[in-house]
Amino acid sequence: MALLEAKDIRKFYGDFCALDGVSLSVAAGEFVSIIGPNGAGKTTLVNVLTGLATPTTGTVRFKGEEVAGIGPVRLARRGMARSFQLVNIFPGLTAGETIAVAVLSRLGRGRRLWASLARDAEVTASVRDVAELFGLGDKLSRPARTLAQGDKKLLDVASAFALGPEIILLDEPTSGVSTRDKHLIMEVLVGAAKRLGIKAILQIEHDMDIVFGYSDRIVALHQGRVLADTTPAGIRADAQVIATVVGKPLS
């Protein structure tokens, strides 16, 4: 059974059809990338999958249960988390406090906030463990806004991982960072997922080196429809998909 499954998703904004009959599934153990040109429907699809947007028609099932439109907070409690293309760092918090927000949510202690955080050994240990996995262990006391862009990306992803999800959806996890940092971020991310027992990763990514370097499957979108859903080798072998989605020959 698929861990996450969407069937015949259509999403309209007024008369505009952003998604037109999109279906996909993600099984445990898979790393799936969604690619496509601007306006293809990538972010709309992830918004639907993570409950930020309700599909006009179609179904979304997570672990066999219908979850369309239930919202990201309830989905996080069920085991699905998301990071964003634009880094969602709380500027007034330290890196450690940013991760702690997610840990407190996972432990169901949101109402306590910071009242006894310093005395809560379980929260402190969880924050430290996640930070170490992402190379942020020595930056926990730093204001999040002062981190380098690559570290801000890692902090955003680390906060999503700290929710303890079974599946994580990543929106452009390497955007805005240098080529060297892109591969560092992906190596850290994949290693952390294995260590934390995350079952599957679904990402939107425009960098084809990252897409082909890490994906088990690639879903290519064009004008709100699935143009291809196959292995990296299958995408490489399809000249029409490459021309339509990538716009240039692959190196």
**Interval 154-178: pLDDT, tens:** 898 898 899 889 999 988 888 878 8
What are the chain's domains?
4-246 (3.40.50.300)
Give 130-173 as a DSSP string. HHHHTT-GGGTTSBGGGS-HHHHHHHHHHHHHTT--SEEEEEST
Judge contact between 103 and 126, C-beta under 8 A: yes
Write down the pTM of the prediction: 0.88
Q: If you average pLDDT over residues 106-113, what whole number do you get?
A: 64
On average, the pLDDT of the chain sits at: 88
pLDDT at 115 over 60: no
30, amino acid identity: E
**Interval 57-92: pLDDT, tens:** 999 999 999 999 888 888 888 999 987 644 566 778
